[in-house]
Structure 1
C-alpha cells in the first residue's frame, strides 16, 4: 500500500490548524445556495449550515479521524476480480440483527466489502445482482464527469445582443441569454452576468429577452415528476438555463405584535406575495399549513403566493422550499429581478429562441469548476444538478443537443475503455431518482476502486459525505467510533436504502464498501448499514 494522500478529514484537520478561525467561519457562512442545495429526496429540509453545530461536529471528528490509505494506480490494478464473488458470505452479527429487526431478508440485500487495491472481497452477498441504487448512482455520473470533462471544466452562460445601443445605454433590439446547463446558476452567480452586461454599456432593453436553450434536446424538458409531490425541489428536471434549482425558499418570522414577516429567495420580477398571516399565542400547532402558500399564475403575468391563517409565535422562524413555474418563466423572472435591482430597465417581452448568427457577444459568465459542482452533488445528493451534469457529458462529447442516450453511451464507452464493463448498468438520468436505473454492488465497488487510483481521486473522495460530519451523513454515527472516518454516498428512495464509499479502519487499513437494500422494509434497515460501517472500521472481522 502507498500513502498517496490523507483522507479529506485528516487534510482538513491539518489545514485548519494552520488557518485563522475567521477563514473557517467564512467558509460556513449562510447563503441562498446552502439553504436550497438539499433539493434531494434524501433531505427535503433546507441545509442551512448551522455554524455552531457544524463546528462542534467537525471538531469532534478531527479528534477521532483516521487517515484513508490509497493505493497507487499500478498497484490497484494488479489483482483481477476474484471469480467467486457471488458466493454468499455470512454477514456480521450486528448487521444481521439490524436486518432481522427491520424484517429485511438476505435476498433483498447486496453487499461488497474490499480492501483498497485488492479486488478479492472480504464480504460479498448477492454482489452481481442488479439493484436500484437510488442516489448512489450519482457516483457513476460524478466520477465519469470528473474523468471525461476534467475537474476544472466550467459551464458558460452567454449574453448576446442585436440592434443598437443609444447614448443612454438602451438596447434597441433583443438581449439573448444562451445556456449550456450550468447546474449552479444561483443568484450570486447570475448577478455576475448581469453586471457584465451593464459594463458592456447596456442599461436598458426595449426589445425582447430571448432564451436560447438548444444545448439540451427539448425531449429532456417538462418531464413528469418522480412522485406526486410536483412542488418538491428534488423533482425539478434538467434545463440549459437552470436557475436556482427552479425553487423558491420562503422564510416566515413571527413577531409578538401579531405580524409575520415573509422573505423569499431568489426574487422573481413577476412574484407577488399576499401576506394574510396572523401571529398568534399558544402552542405551536398548525404551522405546516400556514407556512405553505398557494401559488397561482395570474392572467396579467404575475404569480401570486398567498399565505393565510394563524401562525403561532412559538413556532419561531420556519422555511419551506417549493418548485414553481416552468424553467423559462423562472429564469426570466430571476434575471429581470436582478436586472431591475441593479438599475436596468426592461419594456419588452420574454420568449425562447436561437441566437441569430449576426448577434454580437456582450458578456460571458463562467460557472464554478466541476470539482465544486461534484462536491455539492454528492454531499447534498442534489438530483437536478446531477441530471444537468449527466446531460452535459453527452452534449460535450457527442455535440449538442444533449439527450439521455448520448450521455449514457458516452459514460458506457468511458467505463468500458477503463476496464469497467457493467453489463447490468441501466442509466436513465444519472441521479438515481428513478425506478429504471440499475447497477450491481460489484460494479459500484469496481468503480470506487478505479476512482481511488485515478488522477481525480482526491476531488472525488472529498466530495463524499463524511460520517457524522456533513452532507447526508451529518446526522448518522455521530457518537460512534467511525465518526469522521467514512466517506459515504447515501441513497434513499421508497423501498431503497444504499451506501457506497470508503472507510478508514482503526488499524490503518482502508476499505471500499457498497451495500444496497431493495425491499419494502428498506427504510427500517439503516441500523444494519450503520452496523456494517462500524464493523468495517473495527477491522472487518
Structure 2
C-alpha cells in the first residue's frame, strides 16, 4: 500500500525529537445494520442563506490564529503515546467569543478522517434542507392492461443513501396497490443521476468485501451488503444462516459445524466465500466451526456490482410481495424515456434523518451519497466527486469560509488525500452553531459516553452527556470535532487532529482535551 506523506509544519515546542514519518492509512469499519433505520416525514424545504446572526459569527471567527502551548494533560498523553507535537493540531473556541481560546498548529492542513463528514452534512443541511427526501421511481414503456405491464420497466434512482428493503417494499406496494400484478419485460436501471464511474471507485485499502468500502451509486440498495445472521439451530445440532436483504440469485452453501465451547474469536475459525457461478447465481459458502456459546452473530459482506445487486433485490422483493413476472426479467441499463409511464414513486427518509446516521455511526457510503446529491441537486448532473466538491467550495465562499487548504475527495473522510485545518473546521462549527440548522447538526453528533462512536468513551467523566463529538479514525489518523457544554455553562467548539503512525495510541489525549474543556480549561 503506498504511504501517505503527512505535511508537518515547524514546531517551536517538541515533545520528541523524532520527525513524523510517512504512514499508510487503513479505515476502521463504521457500518451499522440498515434495519435500525426508518423513513420519516414527507415534506421538503430549502433552507435560506445565512442571516445577520450567522454573518456576525463568521466575522468573529475569522480572526487569524496563533499557536499556543497545548494543555498539560493533553501533552502528557501525547508523550505517553510517543506522538510529537508537530503531528497534532488543536482549536478550541467559545461560541460567541471574538477569538479562539486555544490553538496549536491550528492552521496546518491535516487529514481529518471522518470529521470531514461535518463539512458534508452541514453543507447538505443548508443547501438542501433537513426535510429534503430522495426519490426512487418505477416507470414502464406501456400502461398496465388488466394488471399486466408489457415491455421494459425502469427503476430510476436519485441517490437515496438508505434505500433498504423496507423502503423498496413501499415502492412495490404503491405499484401493486395501483393494480399491477405482473411485469413482462426487462428491468432497466436508470442510474444516470450520478456519473457511471463513481460506483467503480477503488477501495481505500483493497478490502473490497468490507461494507465501509462500498462505493456510491444512484441506485445504492441496502448498502450493497449482505448481512448474514449465524446461530445454533433449535435442535442444537447445527448452524442456521439467515440473510438480509433477499437476492433472487443468492444461494447459501452452509458447511458450518456447531461445536461446544466459549465464543471467543469465532471468526478466526470460520470462512465465508462468495463466488459467482456460471449460471449467474451468487453462491456464498460458509465453512468452519461455530461455538454454541456465541448465540446469534452477524457477518456483513459487500458483494456483486451495484446493478446486479439492485436487480436481485428488486426481483426477490417483487416475488415475495406476491408479484409475478411473465418471465424472469433481463437486466439492462439506460435512461427513462420521456414517453415512459410512471407506475409509482417513493420518497425515502429525510436528510435530517440521514445526517443522524452519517454522523452518529460514521457511515461512509451515506456521506458519499450525500456529497454527490449536493452536486446533482445544484445542477451538476451527472454528479461526480469533483463537481460536488466545487459546489461545496462555492457554498463555503458565500459563507465567508474560504479554506485554501481544503481538499475534498469524496466527503466521507475515507480518503488519504482529504485535508482541512483545525481552525477552519472549527470556524465551520461556529458558523453552524449560529445557523438555523445548527441544532440538527449538533444533535446528529455522537454524545460522549452515551451513543454512536463515542458511546464507550469517558462514560464516568464529567464530560459524559455534555459533549457532541464527531470522531475520525484511519490508520495514522485520530480526530475529534464538535461541541462541549462546559460545567460553567459556556459552549465550546473543539477540534483536534493527530496525523502520525502512533495516532491510534493517542485516544487518551483527545479524551483529556474534552474533559479539560468541560472543566473550564483548568
Q: Which stretch of structure 1 is more off in the superposition, 348-357 or 288-297? A: 288-297
Which shows bigger deviation, 400-409 or 306-315?
A: 306-315
- Closer, same or farther: CA 428–499 of 1 in aligned 2, 3 Å: same
**Matching residue of 1:396:** 377
What is the aligned counterpart of 2:427 among 441, 446, 449?
Answer: 446
Contact 2:134 2:159 in 1 (8 A): yes
2:403 matched to 1:422?
yes
Unaligned runs of 5+ in 1: 1-39, 51-70
Q: Are 1:179 and 2:157 matched, yes or no?
A: yes
How many angstroms apart in 1 are the aligned matches of 2:324 and 2:306?
A: 22
Corresponding position of 1:281: 260
Distance 1:187 1:488, change over 3 A: same
Whether 1:223 aligns to 2:201 is: yes
Q: Confirm or deny: 8 A CA contact 1:132 1:437 kept in the other structure.
A: yes
> 1:119: Cα distance to partner?
4.4
Q: How far apart in 1 are the matches of 2:166 and 2:461?
A: 38
Question: By how many angstroms is 1:276 displaced?
Answer: 1.5
1:79 is displaced (CA, Å) by: 2.5
For the structure 1 residues 368 and 101, does the alpha-carbon distance in structure 2 shift closer, same or farther, using more than 3 Å as the test? same
Match of residue 147 from structure 1: 126
Per the alignment, residue 133 of structure 1 pairs with 112
- Judged with a 3 Å threshold, the aligned counterparts in structure 2 of structure 1 residues 176 and 285 are, in CA distance, closer, same or farther, namely same
SS of match in other structure, 2:97: coil
Are the aligned partners of 1:128 and 1:442 in contact in 2 as well (CA < 8 Å)? yes
Residue 302 of structure 2 is matched in structure 1 by: 323
Maintained 8 Å contact 1:252/1:291: no
**Larger % of helix: which?**
1
TM-score (normalizing by structure 1): 0.85
Shift of residue 74, structure 1, vs aligned partner: 6.4
- Residue 201 of structure 2: SS of its match in structure 1? coil
- 1:204 Cα deviation from its structure 2 partner: 1.3
The answer to whether the Cα contact below 8 Å between 1:42 and 1:472 also exists between their aligned partners in 2 is no
Match of 2:140 among 137, 157, 161: 161
Structure 1 runs (4+) deviating above 2 angstroms are: 40-50, 71-83, 163-167, 282-287, 289-292
Distance 1:447 1:362, change over 3 A: same
Contact 2:27/2:204, CA 8 A, preserved across alignment: no
Deviations 1:492-536 (A, max 9, x none): 001000000000000101100000000000000000000000000
* Aligned residue number for residue 40 of structure 2: none
What is the SS of the residue equivalent to 1:165?
coil
Pair 1:114 & 2:93 matched: yes
In the TM superposition, 1:469-480 aligns within 5 A as 469-480=450-461
In the TM superposition, residue 164 of structure 1 has moved relative to its aligned partner by 4.8
Structure 1 contact 290–307 (Cα < 8 Å) conserved: no
Counterpart in 2 of 1:503? 484
Per-residue CA distance 1:185-206 (angstroms, 9 max, x = gap)? 0111111111111122221112
1:279 match: secondary structure: strand
**Counterpart residue number, 1:189:** 167
> C-alpha displacement at 1:133, in angstroms?
0.4
SS for the counterpart of 1:197 is helix
RMSD: 1.9
Give yes or no for contact 1:415–1:421 (8 Å, CA) kept in 2: yes
**Residue of structure 1 in register with 2:212 after alignment:** 234
Aligned to 1:302, which of 257, 281, 294?
281
Partner of 1:245: 223
- Residue 206 (structure 1) aligns with: 184
TM-score, with structure 2 as normaliser:
0.89
Could you say what secondary structure the match of 1:367 adopts? strand
Aligned: 1:170 with 2:148 = yes
Contact 1:428–1:434 (CA under 8 A) maintained in structure 2:
yes
Q: Is structure 2 residue 475 aligned with structure 1 residue 494?
A: yes
Residue of structure 2 in register with 1:536 after alignment: 517
**8 Å contact kept, 1:77–1:117:** no
- In 1, the alpha carbon distance for the partners of 2:221 and 2:82 equals 43
For residues 31 and 158 of structure 2, the distance between their equivalents in structure 1, rounded to whole angstroms, comes to 28
What is the CA distance between 1:44 and its match in structure 2? 4.8
Aligned length: 479
| Alpha-carbon shift at residue 73 of structure 1 (Å) | 3.9
Distance 1:140 1:406 in 2: 16
Q: Which runs of 5+ in 2 are unaligned?
A: 1-25, 37-51
1:8 alignment partner in structure 2? none
